[in-house]
A and B are shown apart, each in its own frame.
Chain A
């Protein structure tokens, strides 16, 4: 079955450490996205990529970094510069701009 796989499901880190969240898709989609979800807020866009080796900042990119070396993979690194990293992180992909996003099942990151 085609889909998006995020790992791990839960991640715990100490403050000051960088951490990388994995996102893999086998839908053959060109565009991939990272969103952050906090209680009571809508999903906020962190980064997106429309093609391999190219990506753009979203609305809340500070303290995050990404890479897109393969079409299938779009890992997100949460750096120590991110002031409030504890959140639910969602990866998504889609075929074209007016297509719906397909989401993974998220990674819940807790930083203490």
Chain B
């Protein structure tokens, strides 16, 4: 069964303190790994898609990386506005039509 596990569940950082969020996955034939940001009471906002091991994507203070078993979302010198829940999801191959989501990491950046 396809599965996604995110860690930690919650992370509190000081402004400027860099860190990483982890997304471990087991999936039959990965067709894509997706990162989203979700603010309270809102729908998830798409950040990155990674398709193959070794791929990296960057956007402002965020950088996503992918291996054959996990993905990391690195956040460099975060600001309070980076506070949100970050969701990871995988798309399996073999005709599967759904994304499987992890439970998310709730990130809080203190000024």
Contact sample, A vs B, 13 pairs, CB 8 Å cutoff: A40-B103, A41-B103, A42-B101, A43-B87, A56-B97, A58-B98, A98-B32, A100-B49, A101-B34, A105-B41, A105-B43, A106-B41, A106-B42
CA distance A46 to B36 in the complex (A): 20
Which residues of chain A are near B78, meaning CB under 8 Å? none
B4 proximal to A (CB < 8 A): yes
Known interface pairs A45-B98, A103-B44; 12 further A-B residue pairs with C-beta atoms within 8 A, sorted by A's residue number = A43-B44, A43-B99, A48-B98, A97-B96, A98-B31, A99-B49, A100-B34, A104-B43, A105-B41, A105-B42, A105-B43, A108-B41
Residues of B contacting A: mostly:
strand
List chain B positions with a Cβ less than 8 A from chain A: 4, 31-32, 34, 36, 41-46, 49, 51, 87, 89, 91, 96-104
Q: Size range of the interface on A?
A: 20 to 34
Number of A-B contacts (CB under 8 A): 61
A50 to B95, CA, bound (A): 12
Residue A66, interface by CB 8 Å: no
Give A contacts to B, CB under 8 Å.
4, 6, 31, 33, 35, 40-43, 45, 48, 50, 56, 58-59, 90, 92, 97-106, 108
Q: Are B41 and A98 in contact (CB under 8 A)?
A: no
Q: Assess the B101–A43 pair: CB atoms within 8 A.
A: yes
**Quick check: A31 and B4 within 8 Å, CB to CB?**
no
Assess whether A42 is in contact with B103, with CB atoms less than 8 Å apart: yes
B99's nearest neighbour on chain A, judged by CB, is: A101
Closest to A45 in B: B98
Report the minimum CB–CB distance from A103 to chain B (whole Å).
Answer: 3
A90 to B43: give the CA distance in the assembly, Å: 7
> Is there an interface contact between A102 and B46, defined as CB atoms closer than 8 Å?
yes
Which residues of A lie under 8 Å from residue B89 when comparing CB positions?
A: 43, 101
What is the distance, in angstroms, from A23's C-beta to the closest C-beta of chain B?
Answer: 11
Question: Assuming A42-B4, A90-B44, A98-B91, is B103 touching A48 (CB within 8 A)?
Answer: no
B11 CB → nearest A CB, Å: 15
Distance in angstroms from B97 CB to nearest chain A CB is: 6
